[in-house]
A and B are shown apart, each in its own frame.
Chain A
């Protein structure tokens, strides 16, 4: 019963994602705002499901998730099969979700009382990571205004975790081009976020 109802729920969700994606493709800006949280929720739910099937899987990562999300949505999609577009939207969804998460967690930290002294061996890289996400998001915003292609490459590489080849496939570019664009973008972004 439980499984059945879940399937129905996600089918309904997939359909709504499908509709939103179509609206996004048709240039409806508000649809993107609606789509991102829905898509992110879907990705998370999929992550849970995949992990429940294979708890110790060392290979499960964001890329696999996005692939699976795409397959599921494509199955339900009435004519929606623009895989590249889907990945670009998914990348924006991940970016949106991660930046949102990082902002919230840092705001909470500022709002909280004093943080106690750390343990002797404390390394809190997760905290650094949230700072990196926010700084990168801002820098990426500036980069995308002058070089949209680089912006998309960074989104796919950084927020989704696609390889050079996968990103090339999604963007219909040669891997060499993607690699060069990525290298230049990374150098620039790195300087921006470490200044």
Chain B
């Protein structure tokens, strides 16, 4: 090209100086009959025109390397969105108002434009696509909705979110003068949002008051979920020494130590930041000064702010649960569980109860319960015969059971409950023995027998392992209901009594099973199911009737053919009843009943189905069922952290998942899940040392752990010595329960199993 180019460029520049309408003529004149030159110049003129209008080569490509935040002009487009006014600008990027440019969407949105992260463009594309899919799953009332994301023409990633008109939570609190309760409400809403994100595998990584807004409706709204993951603005290990990387995306005062040190970012990172937000919300400061918070809130904040992520709350829901417990006057996990702390918590909680009950509870904790309680019974027995009926109502309906139910929710209360119930039972017996009983009183007494029997020995609830007493109590309840007309059968009873009768049968079935009599159990339960079935037919739109029937069918299925229960070996029958229960619960949910009991029962049904599928070697179906069950239980536990049954169910959920992993040969994952369930079971036994069922459950957990380390017919780690340690502990535990309940078949069978295991691993 050489000399040609010098000539061409001179001609080109002259051509460009010509007026537009004369240029072509001018080129022809200059080139004569050199058609190639004419073509060359014409092309270059056209190239110039295009390059000039498109600013081609005017923008240095250094933006690829130089993460400079570039501004967007008003009216510019990012994807289908039109950029409006600048709302905020910071080190990480800028936020603009925006609207759908094509009018497909009316609402004003927030467009956040960020300096490109360290990812290279093509990797960014794939990454954004994946993150976008994850973010689209975030649907939570306290999370600003995600709409869209992409990369703008200048190479900057952008994200479109719901525009939230609100104040940072701390400013909201100061402006409105909200009290502690309202501040904690908002904080709990934020926790629930973060929990939801964590379940969707999104860690916020930059929680701070300016990302936790309270909107004009007074609702908390969290911003910027997924920003950290999408734009990777946080330092990783290799660039932790890089000053700039350190400066981006980390907000001093809110960043967890592992973020500053370039350690592993986990959900605990968000726990830390939430701890700082909580502290600032409650005290206005970001450092905890002694005495600024009361002991429990201080302990909660301290636990959230632990330097080692392992020492923090394991999850955001644990943090939220502790705050809820604090508010309800329950023990918080952040405070060491000492006797004096337990006592103080009881006292605080009791303020909410009737004064008389409060006195009794305090007395129970102090060890004076017996004395005081007997004094109160004695004073009642001095009452005249006429007043006995009223007292009986109280016994059956209010005082005792209110007391009992409240006690039942508190770990460690078994002994107190047993005492309350034995007294109540004795009293009921004396009432039942009286000849002239009216219908209402009879009903109350029968229901009281049902409740007492359940607490004495029903395997369904936390029970005292008193099987014979329980069975006697149920029998008494049934005969009280039938009165003189025992020959007519339960179907002759009024509808409301049929329900109580069916419940007694159902409870009786469970107790028979615990006594090692599955055949008797199945007879009782089949009768209960048929009574509940006719109840449902009477009330077709009543979710409660559906729920009762489903529950009874699950129990019938258990004792018909669930290998985890004493059973008659009828697997097909069990499967039928479980599936029917699933259908019934679905219907109940459709009718609007998605309360805790229904969810809990659904969790149980899926676990049971998982057991049966696994027993039939349908591992895929079993896996799906277990996972479903586990999800339901986790949801429940997040709603009800202090509820023993639900906590136990969560442990069982972990255990079932672990078994699936073990079957699939993923032993490490199995170990993790088994240890989680063991932790749950251990918490339950430690909080209530005379609860037989809790100990059995823990023993089974230890059995599984032992089998994971050594078992002849299962995939295992092949470590007999480790297995023996679990088996020995389990056996000891079971032997300690024999003293409480000699007739418990389950305990005896478990002891045999443990002895065999120990023999085998010698």
Interface residues on A, range: 35 or more
Task: Indicate with 1 or 0, residue by residue over A163-192, a CB within 8 angstroms of chain B CB atoms.
Answer: 000000000000000001101111111110
> Are the CB atoms of B60 and A121 closer together than 8 Å?
no
Give chain A interface residues in 110-135, CB to chain B under 8 Å.
112, 115-127, 129-130, 132-133
**From A121, which residue of chain B is reached at the shortest CB distance?**
B79
Given the contacts A61-B66, A122-B150, A125-B155, A190 and B61 also touching, CB distance less than 8 Å: no
Q: Which residues of A contact B258 (CB under 8 A)?
A: none
B1-9, B27-35, B499-507 - the one binding chain A: B1-9
Q: Which of B9, B79, B152 contacts A184 (CB 8 A)?
A: B9
> Are the CB atoms of A98 and B247 closer together than 8 Å?
no
**Taking the complex as formed, is B69 at the interface, i.e. its CB lies under 8 A from any CB of chain A?**
yes
Q: Which residues of B contact A122 (CB under 8 A)?
A: 79, 125, 128, 150-151
Q: Which residues of B contact A132 (CB under 8 A)?
A: 61
Give chain A interface residues in 74-127, CB to chain B under 8 Å.
94, 97-98, 101-102, 104-106, 108-109, 112, 115-127
> Are the CB atoms of A190 and B51 closer together than 8 Å?
yes
Given the contacts A160-B60, A190-B56, A56 and B122 also touching, CB distance less than 8 Å: no
> Are the CB atoms of A146 and B5 closer together than 8 Å?
yes
B42-50, B367-375, B415-423 - the one binding chain A: B42-50
Q: Which of B12, B43, B63, B149 contacts A119 (CB 8 A)?
A: B149
- How many angstroms from the CA of A188 to the CA of B47 in the assembled complex? 7
**Taking the complex as formed, is A47 at the interface, i.e. its CB lies under 8 A from any CB of chain B?**
yes
> Are the CB atoms of A158 and B154 closer together than 8 Å?
no
- How many angstroms from the CA of A181 to the CA of B130 in the assembled complex? 46
> Are the CB atoms of A180 and B243 closer together than 8 Å?
no
> Are the CB atoms of B12 and A184 closer together than 8 Å?
yes
CB proximity of A36 to chain B, nearest CB, Å: 14
Given the contacts A102-B64, A125-B152, A186 and B5 also touching, CB distance less than 8 Å: no
Q: Which residues of B contact A136 (CB under 8 A)?
A: 57
Please indicate which of the listed interface residues B2, B57, B149 has the most CB atoms of chain A within 10 Å of its own CB.
B57
Please indicate which of the listed interface residues B45, B71, B121 has the most CB atoms of chain A within 10 Å of its own CB.
B121
Interface residues on B, range: 35 or more
**Taking the complex as formed, is B126 at the interface, i.e. its CB lies under 8 A from any CB of chain A?**
yes
Give chain B interface residues in 52-83, CB to chain A under 8 Å.
56-57, 60-66, 68-71, 78-81
**From B91, which residue of chain A is reached at the shortest CB distance?**
A55
Q: Which of B9, B61, B63, B66 contacts A158 (CB 8 A)?
A: B61
> Are the CB atoms of B150 and A119 closer together than 8 Å?
yes
- How many angstroms from the CA of A30 to the CA of B699 in the assembled complex? 74
**Taking the complex as formed, is B379 at the interface, i.e. its CB lies under 8 A from any CB of chain A?**
no
**Taking the complex as formed, is B116 at the interface, i.e. its CB lies under 8 A from any CB of chain A?**
yes
Q: Which of B12, B50, B81, B125 contacts A127 (CB 8 A)?
A: B125
Q: Which residues of A contact B69 (CB under 8 A)?
A: 56, 58
> Are the CB atoms of A115 and B90 closer together than 8 Å?
no
Q: Which residues of B contact A189 (CB under 8 A)?
A: 57
**Taking the complex as formed, is B166 at the interface, i.e. its CB lies under 8 A from any CB of chain A?**
no
Q: Which residues of A contact B71 (CB under 8 A)?
A: 58
Given the contacts A56-B91, A62-B62, A180-B13, A191 and B122 also touching, CB distance less than 8 Å: no
> Are the CB atoms of A184 and B51 closer together than 8 Å?
no
CB proximity of A170 to chain B, nearest CB, Å: 15
CB proximity of B528 to chain A, nearest CB, Å: 54
> Are the CB atoms of B129 and A123 closer together than 8 Å?
no
Q: Which residues of B contact A102 (CB under 8 A)?
A: 61, 64
> Are the CB atoms of A158 and B153 closer together than 8 Å?
no
**Taking the complex as formed, is A72 at the interface, i.e. its CB lies under 8 A from any CB of chain B?**
no
> Are the CB atoms of A108 and B122 closer together than 8 Å?
yes
**Taking the complex as formed, is A71 at the interface, i.e. its CB lies under 8 A from any CB of chain B?**
no
> Are the CB atoms of A126 and B129 closer together than 8 Å?
no
Given the contacts A48-B244, A122-B79, A190 and B121 also touching, CB distance less than 8 Å: no
CB pairs A–B below 8 angstroms (5 shown): A44-B65, A47-B244, A62-B66, A98-B64, A116-B126
Q: 4 shortest A-B CB distances, which residue pairs?
A: A121-B79, A48-B244, A55-B91, A126-B121
Known contacts A55-B247, A116-B126, A190-B56, then 7 further A-B pairs from the complex at CB < 8 Å, ordered by chain A residue: A61-B68, A62-B66, A101-B64, A119-B128, A121-B79, A123-B153, A146-B1
Interface residues in chain A, defined as those with a beta carbon under 8 Å from any beta carbon in chain B: 44, 47-49, 51-52, 55-56, 58, 60-62, 65, 94, 97-98, 101-102, 104-106, 108-109, 112, 115-127, 129-130, 132-133, 136, 142, 146-147, 150, 154, 157-161, 180-181, 183-191, 194
